[in-house]
Amino acid sequence: MAEFFSYYGVSANLISYLTGPLGQSTATAAENVNAWSGIAMLMPLLGAFVADSFLGRYRTIVVASALYILGIGLLTLSAFLTSFKSSDCQTTSNSITLCPPSQLQVILFFFSLYLIALAQGMHKPSIHAFGADQFDESHTEESKAKSSFFNWCNVGTCLAITLTYLTLTYIQDSLSWGLGFGIPCLVMIFALVWFLLGTFTYRFHATHNDDQGQGQGKPFSRIGRVFIKAAKNWRTISCAKGMDAENQEHVLPNLGSQQFKFLNKALLSFDGSMEEGQVCSISEVEDAKTILRLVPIWCSCFAYGIVFSQPPTLFTKQGLTMERFVTSKFQVPAASLQSFSSVTIMVFLCLYDRAVVPIARAITRKTSGITMLQRIGTGIFFSILCVFVAALVERKRLEIIKEFGLVDLPNATVPMSVAWLLPQYLLLGVSCAFTITGLQQFFYDQMPNELKSTGLALYLTTLGLGELLSSVLISVIQKVTGGSDAHDDHWFSDNPMKGHLDYFYWLLVGVSTMSFAAFVYFAKGYTYRNQ
């Protein structure tokens, strides 16, 4: 929870910091946020590899926490540098003093930002896997507790994120950016100390060493070797099968799978030799096929990642222009609206097993109610509804702007309640409750046994690449529709009264719909592991 509190303490309101103290345009800031978020969500793959192959989960968590503290500490320092930069400051007509950021501040800011991305990439997969290691599968009660571990992890995550949106975003907007970044740093220091205090009570699972030949204990090497062997034997005619002394109980149940037959070439050798390194085992080939089957599903979820990236960027920029006063003195921070998605996720996850599954079970006659892919697909459908509603709300906002003659007043407040944005946040929350948890279960369950930790990281890459695609998409649209220096009528105008975010949302509806159709097509033909 501390890690998510700290991560979202940085990311939730990041676009406001980039367009405020750092003085970036809306489009540039959105590109930077999406690029950073995308890379941050790809980093867990590196973190899982380091934990599984080198440091182990415990040491990886300690190193990642230390890097986290260093990164947020430097970020806090860069925010305070604004106060010390007095040259080149200008005073606006509203008596507001604006100081451009120094080069040192910008460099330090982005260095610390990507250091945080590296740290969370090492921390996320390790802490989840290490937590699951604390349950003994042979113990009945602990085995039952482990089955709900990931579900309650997500509830705790959403609770931490909600707390971030309700507290840190207000502190950052109303008090101080330095204080808003400094609090997450203190939280991570406390979390690391608390984690270390429990060292002697943890269960540590031994890592299998490569002492049995043929690369056992090196799952990445073994699976990579299958593709290399299959490529080398592309023209080889089957003359000998590389069935080693592996017992039948080690052969996967779906051995008869007829998919990706070209990988069976890895079982062949020219002379029928059974020497070590000459051929791959059956289980290695089946593991490689399993991973290859995941690729179409993985790719068809990228569009979901694009939608997932909108709340901390464009949704927040929408909210900044709207009426946000709850009382005469209290103004709701635009970034805090994301808490409605988190609350929706928490409520929905708590109700899922008790309400959704029984209803689905009565309809489908399946014990689980719906399959993992059906759960993911349902969430993707709700994400399409989310951007559909967002487009309608944005069109309404632009109509009100024209009606009240606010087009040339970029700093004006649109007489439209920020509550209009709640439906899109709620729909995204329902979407995440289905898709995010579904992706976690799917990639963990379907990955080969020795790559379960990597499976926990892999689902994040669908979101990460979606974030990067969002950044690229915004950049391309920015250039095609006018560029940042051409005029104010392009889609991502710095004047929020003249932009056309509704066009962008309609584009996302189209892209997401096509991606959803592809997902349904691949999901229908998918064969689950061990079936």
pLDDT at 244: 45
Residue 195 CB partners (closer than 8 Å, separation 6+): 61, 62, 65
- pLDDT band for position 138 (cuts 50, 70, 90): low
pLDDT tens by residue, 255-269 = 445 677 777 777 766
* Of residues 119, 110, 128, 122, the one with CA closest to residue 68: 119
Check whether residue 267 and residue 296 sit in a common domain: no
Phi–psi pair at 371, nearest 5 degrees: -75, 170
d(CA 23, CA 30): 13
Task: Write out the E strands in 27-136.
Answer: 90-91, 97-98
Check whether residue 54 and residue 15 sit in a common domain: yes
pLDDT tens by residue, 69-103 = 999 999 998 888 764 545 555 554 444 445 667 77
Contact 61, 195 (CB under 8 A): yes
Check whether residue 113 and residue 253 sit in a common domain: no
Check whether residue 314 and residue 234 sit in a common domain: no
Check whether residue 196 and residue 320 sit in a common domain: yes
Domain assignment present for 214:
no
Which of these three, 262, 288, 314, is where a domain ends? 288
Domain assignment of residue 331, given as a range: 2-205+289-524
Residue 124 belongs to domain with CATH number: 1.20.1250.20
* Of residues 417, 172, 472, the one with CA closest to residue 306: 472
pLDDT at 212: 38
Strands 414-417 and 322-323: parallel
Number of domains the chain contains: 2
Contact 266, 236 (CB under 8 A): no
Check whether residue 89 and residue 156 sit in a common domain: yes
More confident call, 428 vs 208: 428
pLDDT at 90: 59
Check whether residue 188 and residue 307 sit in a common domain: yes
Check whether residue 344 and residue 200 sit in a common domain: yes
d(CA 221, CA 216): 9
Check whether residue 259 and residue 403 sit in a common domain: no
Whether pTM exceeds 0.85: no
Check whether residue 372 and residue 416 sit in a common domain: yes
- State the DSSP code for 527: -
Domain assignment present for 530:
no
pLDDT at 208 exceeding the cut of 50? no
Domain assignment present for 37:
yes
Domain assignment present for 529:
no
Structure-token pair, residue 222: 């073994």
Check whether residue 267 and residue 190 sit in a common domain: no
Check whether residue 255 and residue 377 sit in a common domain: no
d(CA 338, CA 422): 9
More confident call, 489 vs 390: 390
**Residues forming beta bridges with residue 98, ordered by sequence position:** 90
Domain assignment present for 15:
yes
Which of these three, 240, 268, 288, is where a domain ends? 288
d(CA 178, CA 171): 9
Helix (H) or strand (E) holding 36: helix 26-50
* Of residues 144, 105, 86, the one with CA closest to residue 18: 105
Contact 217, 281 (CB under 8 A): no
pLDDT tens by residue, 376-389 = 999 999 999 999 99
Residue 493 CB partners (closer than 8 Å, separation 6+): 26, 499, 500
Helix (H) or strand (E) holding 134: none
pLDDT tens by residue, 402-430 = 988 888 888 888 899 989 999 999 999 99
Which of these three, 245, 265, 288, is where a domain ends? 288
More confident call, 98 vs 129: 129
Helix (H) or strand (E) holding 363: helix 357-364
pLDDT at 118: 92
Percent of all residues in the chain with a pLDDT value above 70, rounded to a whole number:
81
Task: Write out the E strands in 187-311.
Answer: none
- pLDDT band for position 252 (cuts 50, 70, 90): very low
Domain assignment present for 213:
no
- pLDDT band for position 151 (cuts 50, 70, 90): low
Domain assignment present for 379:
yes
CA trace torsion 332, 337, 338, 344 (10° rounding):
130
Question: Helices 140-147 and 149-174 sit at what angle, rounded to 10 degrees?
Answer: 40
Mean pLDDT within 46-53:
80
Percent of all residues in the chain with a pLDDT value above 90, rounded to a whole number:
20
The one-letter code for the residue type at 399 is: E
The one-letter code for the residue type at 372 is: M
Average pLDDT, the chain: 79
Domain assignment present for 21:
yes
- pLDDT band for position 188 (cuts 50, 70, 90): very high
